[in-house]
Amino acid sequence: MDSIVVTGNGALTGAIPIAGAKNACLTLMPATLLSEEPLTLTNAPRLSDIATMTQLLRSLGAEVASLQDGLVLAMSSHDISNHTADYDIVRKMRASILVLGPMLARDGHAVVSLPGGCAIGARPVDLHLRALEAMGATLDLRDGYIHAKAPGGRLKGAVFEFPFVSVGATENALMAATLAKGTTVLKNAAREPEIADLARCLRKMGAQIEGEGTSTLTIQGVDRLNGATHPVVTDRIELGTYMLVPAICGGEIECLGGRMDLVGAFAEKLDEAGVSVTETERGLKVSRKNGQVRAVNVTTEPFPGFPTDLQAQMMALLCTASGTSVLEEKIFENRFMHAPELIRMGARIDVHGGTARVTGVDKLRGARVMATDLRASVSLILAGLAAEGETVVSRVYHLDRGYERVEEKLRACGAQIERISA
Ligand code: EPZ
């Protein structure tokens, strides 16, 4: 298992290109199952999760060609030869559940392994299933698999209100509704930019969708969808992560391709903490306003609120801010596993349930720490960039799921960072 060694090296300055969004690509890829025509994605991120989704789609009979060093994914599901998404693949990545809606909508049946939990929480899929049931699906859960059928071979339009916001359930229902007979209205739908990106791609394929970006999606089902070519939207979580580099280390970083509309609440919170974010022709330029970063309180919420996927990274910054910050994690039940690792680096953090109180210290100290999940791993790297001495982050396979070429991008800005293979 690889580790990453990072040594605090003072202020960092330079430009970092932001890749296409992992969480957009992971829902755009299953959309190929909705059509017999080719779907090509450009600006795709080069990540292990994308390789896992590629493996899953191929296991269903889709053709997926990774071109131009993985930046282009040329997919075609002329027919789905296997309608079972196997546990061995699904257990590696929860987003595998997103093949359920498309397969069911296209061919009227699908068998998908229940994904199982993950480090940050139980993460059930009950809302995915309830939305599909509302559209007429029959779901039989047995031997760890969801056996789904659409009576008469086709889902039917329905009005469904999500009891609470779910990104994945919204994506599954949205994709399924494009081929259902009649009109579907999804209420209290998630508003994340990745869902708006999916809606734009589906519309290019011939779907009739209104309301993306709002909490009500209205979809008029059609009989078939065509092919399309679509660029994956910029990754707002990678963007936010690299925006924190000059905040925690000092210096100035320009995030190429960054857009303010993708990080609104996050940029406001940075501004409150004393970090300036300015739009440039090439993206977003970030630096401290006057040297010191102030403590701020953070509560994670569905978009457009503060993203849960940036909570761990923000905590790293607040470990060195002046004053005490309170972070409330409202989306997942166990998403503070980075706290004990940061404490090993000298951070002062008290965790009680979904609340973490962070009291800033002058300097973190390098230490051996362990990555526990994707975003926790990058928060430890951020802390290591600002710490005194050497930090060794183990189990960086978590990192590779969501961040491409981290060492390269940071080294280009002056960071002392390298990957070592155990
Ligand atoms: C997506 O996960 C993202 N993953 C997550 O990013 C992100 O943290 C999350 O949305 C919230 O923004 C992808 O897009 C691939 P949810 P998802 O359904 O869809 C509960 C990362 O780091 N819930 O919005 O699984 C759930 O347990 C990953 O890139 C149910 O109870 O998130 C959670 O507590 C981590 N039943 C809350 O809702 C359901 O049927 C929000 O989950 C579905 C969800």
Dihedrals φ, ψ of 415, to 5°? -75, 150
CA of 418 to the centre of ligand 1 (A): 31
Kindly state the average pLDDT of the residues 37-42. Answer: 98
* Residue 117, pLDDT score: 65
CA angle 166, 184, 216 (to 5 degrees): 50
**pLDDT of 422 over the 80 cut:** no
Judged by DSSP in three states, 71 sits in coil
Kind and range of the H or E run holding 326: strand 324-328
pLDDT tens sequence across 207-265 = 999 999 999 999 999 999 999 999 999 999 999 999 999 999 999 999 999 999 999 99
- Which residues, at least 6 apart from 315, have a Cβ–Cβ distance to it below 8 Å? 327, 336, 338, 339, 342, 349, 356, 358, 379
Kindly state the average pLDDT of the residues 322-351. Answer: 97
pLDDT tens sequence across 91-125 = 999 999 999 999 999 999 999 999 866 777 777 89
Could you count the other beta carbons within 10 Å of the beta carbon of residue 122?
A: 10
* Residue 198, pLDDT score: 98
Q: How far is CA 345 from CA 4, 59, 339, 366, 397, in A?
A: 15, 43, 10, 6, 21
Strand pairing class (275-279; 283-288): antiparallel
Q: How far is CA 161 from CA 166, 184, 185, 189, 315, in A?
A: 11, 11, 8, 8, 33
Partners of 4 in the beta sheet?
393, 419
Helix pair 167-177, 193-204: axis angle to 10 deg: 10
For residue 164, the ligand 1 atom closest to its alpha carbon is 38
CA nearest ligand 1 atom 19, residue: 168
CA of 168 to the centre of ligand 1 (A): 6
CA nearest ligand 1 atom 17, residue: 168
* Residue 122, pLDDT score: 73
CA nearest ligand 1 atom 14, residue: 23
pLDDT tens sequence across 358-414 = 999 999 999 999 999 999 999 999 999 999 999 999 999 999 999 999 999 999 999
Kindly state the average pLDDT of the residues 188-208. Answer: 98
